[in-house]
Structure 1
């Protein structure tokens, strides 16, 4: 349960970050390859989609941890393994970013998310 809560807290912080990006905050060097200080329209939409994805992941994690019961167990079980794979794939993608801020901040964040999602998947 602590891993699921930690995962949801980090995802919530990332959702706030993505919302700020979608609203035009000059934080683009930390996301989407770091090519833009302020994101163009298509990447702002991508940030909004990211928030939806984070919410789905949060529901899966909380369901898997037994804190809520909104999806069948097989969905939360398989879903958390998919989430784990998603974050594992994200590690090298962030690590090879041309943006130093993205590499130095987001690579450790996604690594932590991968570990937490693994713990939730194994629970």
Structure 2
């Protein structure tokens, strides 16, 4: 469960960051390609959707480790591999960003999320494994 907890902490911090973007914080250089100081409406909507996606990812991760029982086991197992792919793709997407602040901040975050989601997808940290 420590991997799911670490994933949750990072996702909560990202959700707070995205919420700040939604409300117009001048942090746009760290997100969405770094082209805007304050995000335009369409990207603010994207940030709001990101928060919902983070919440879903978190529920799937906790389901996968057995802390909650929301989805059938095959779903959470497959979904965690999809999430791993999503975060791994995020490494690449953030690495090619034109925004240096985005690259410097989000590449390490994406690496951490990718590694944690890989460990969770592999079944490490499951409650049953601890018993």
Measured against the shorter chain, the TM-score band is over 0.9
Alignment match, 2:12: 12
**Residue 93 of structure 2 corresponds to which residue in structure 1?**
93
Helix, strand or coil for the counterpart of 1:38?
coil
Query: Using the alignment, how far apart are the partners of 1:91 and 1:70 within structure 2?
Result: 29
| Separation (CA, whole Å) in 1 of partners of 2:9 and 2:69 | 19
Structure 2 length-normalised TM:
0.93
Structure 1: runs of 5 or more not aligned: none
Taking the aligned partners of 1:23 and 1:118, their CA distance within structure 2 comes to: 32
The equivalent residue for 1:105 is: 105
Displacement after TM superposition at 1:30 (Å): 0.3
> What is the alpha-carbon root mean square deviation over aligned residues?
0.5
Match of 2:57 in 1: 57
CA positional deviation for 1:4:
0.8
Q: Distance in 2 between matches of 1:105 and 1:14?
A: 11
Distance (whole Å) between structure 1 residues aligned to residue 19 and residue 75 of structure 2: 27
The structural deviation recorded for 1:92 is: 1.0
The answer for unaligned runs of 5 or more in structure 2 is: 124-131
Runs of 4+ in structure 1 off by over 4 angstroms are none
**1:117 aligned onto 2:88:** no
Aligned match of 1:2: 2
CA drift of 1:19 comes to 0.5
Max Rg structure: 2
TM-score normalised by structure 1 residue count = 0.99
Map of 2:21 onto structure 1:
21
Number of aligned residues = 123
